[in-house]
Structure 1
Amino acid sequence: MKVSVLSSNGEDTGRKVELSKDIFGIEPNDHAIYLDVKQYLAHQRQGTHKSKERAEITGSTRKIKKQKGTGTARAGSIKSPVFRGGGRVFGPRPRNYTIKLNKKLKDVARKSALSYKANDKEISVLEDFSFDAPKTKSYTGLLTNLSVSDKKTLLVLSQDDKNVVLSSRNLKNASVTTVDGINTYDLLKADRLLLCEGAIEKIVNLLSK
């Protein structure tokens, strides 16, 4: 599959790049995508939730009333879960939400996501560029030139560029990453995938190992 290379001004440079069928043209594996996205979202959870149970509540353990003759249920402690201010029964405790997946499965998931983008013609290839200074206006101008300012975009750089990253940081629907940082969730979330020309070869090398 050949895709035209665009300049940062949105103009066609007259050159085309070949997108590898082994990366951008495989039969997508939906289950691999599901597992990888599930792992990604699980890893976003801190797992620090905690509530106090009756053993952790501050209060007296004195028996608050006599066992019989009150006409109400027996009660042994003010920290009982049935009273207001008492401990919680089976409350949440800190836990680790980490899910382990094989590297090969994660590679299949990313290839599947890239293949979906290629099939839907949602990939644009840009010649490598950089900004002289971090300015949000520069990045919004880039998106406007590419006619994607109203869409969720993911720009994949061939190498880390601080000025480009800082220029996009204040934009809600614009994300920037490097080849090493691409993941299935971000690929699928974006309406338009912007690949720098130098990043394509690195993606092929990364997912072909």
Structure 2
Amino acid sequence: MKLDVYKTDGSKTGEQVTLPRQIFDIEPNDHVIWLAVTAEHANRRQGTVSTKNRSAVRGGGKKPWRQKGRGTARAGSSRSPLWRGGGRIFGPSPRHYHMKINKKVQQLARKSAYCYKAREDRIRLIEDFSFDKPNTKELAGILKNLKLDHIKTLLLTTNNERMIWLSGRNMAAFAVREASMVSTTDILKSDYLLIQKEALTKINEVMKP
């Protein structure tokens, strides 16, 4: 599959680049995509939620009243979960949500996500560009020239382009990731992939088996 390379002004450079078949033209594996996305979401969780059960609540060591003779229900602690101010039954406690998946599975998931974007013709190549300082107006102009200004777009760069990130962090439909660090979730959440020319080479290097 060949794609035209665009300039920042929206015109074509006249160059065409062939997408690597081993990445963008495979049979997608939906189950592997599900595994990768589930693991990515789970690994973002802090797992610090905590509540107090009856043993952790302060006080309640004294028996509220004698066992028999009062005509009321027996009680051994004022911190019973049945009482106001008591502990919580089976409340959440700190835990680890970490899920490990193999590197080859992660790569296959990303390849499958790339393949879906290629099949839907939702990949655009652009010549390499960078900013010396944050410039949201210029970045918005580039996206408008490419007719991607109102479309959820993910820009893949070769290196960590901090100035591009700073320029686009206030744009609701734009995100930027380093090509070697992009996740399966990032690819699937975007409607269009805008890939810098050199970033495509980086993707090919990272995805080598």
TM over 0.5: yes
1:28 is aligned to 28
1:173 is aligned to 173
Distance 2:205 2:53 in 1: 52
1:6 is aligned to 6
1:82 is aligned to 82
In the alignment, structure 1 residue 162 sits paired with structure 2 residue 199:
no
1:99, CA displacement in angstroms? 0.4
Judge which range, 137-146 or 117-126, deviates more.
Answer: 137-146
Number of residue pairs aligned between Structure 1 and Structure 2: 209
Residue 131 of structure 1 contacts residue 138 of structure 1 at CA under 8 Å; is this kept in 2?
no
Residue 155 of structure 1 contacts residue 177 of structure 1 at CA under 8 Å; is this kept in 2?
yes
Alignment of 1:163-202 (within 5 A): 163-202=163-202
1:152 is aligned to 152
2:102 is aligned to 102
1:21, CA displacement in angstroms? 0.9
Distance 1:7 1:198 in 2: 14
1:120 is aligned to 120
Distance 2:72 2:5 in 1: 80
1:203 is aligned to 203
1:53 is aligned to 53
Distance 1:147 1:38 in 2: 32
Distance 1:190 1:146 in 2: 16
Task: Look up the SS of the partner of 2:75 in the other structure.
Answer: coil
Normalised by the size of structure 1, how large is the TM-score?
Answer: 0.97
Show CA shifts across 1:28-67 (max 9, x none).
Answer: 0000000000000001110000001111111231111221
Distance 2:29 2:130 in 1: 35
Distance 2:66 2:180 in 1: 67
Report percent identity of matched pairs: 46
Task: Look up the SS of the partner of 1:181 in the other structure.
Answer: coil
Alignment of 1:55-74 (within 5 A): 55-74=55-74
Show CA shifts across 1:148-202 (max 9, x none).
Answer: 1111111000122221111011112211011121110000000010000001111
Which one-letter code corresponds to 2:7 in the other structure? S
2:92 is aligned to 92
> For structure 2, which runs of at least 5 residues remain unmatched after alignment?
none
> For structure 1, which runs of at least 5 residues remain unmatched after alignment?
none
Distance 2:70 2:36 in 1: 59
Residue 3 of structure 1 contacts residue 125 of structure 1 at CA under 8 Å; is this kept in 2?
yes
1:69, CA displacement in angstroms? 3.3
Which one-letter code corresponds to 1:139 in the other structure? L
Judge which range, 184-193 or 56-65, deviates more.
Answer: 56-65
Distance 2:143 2:62 in 1: 68
Which one-letter code corresponds to 1:163 in the other structure? M
Which one-letter code corresponds to 1:20 in the other structure? P
Which one-letter code corresponds to 1:173 in the other structure? A
Judge which range, 146-155 or 61-70, deviates more.
Answer: 61-70
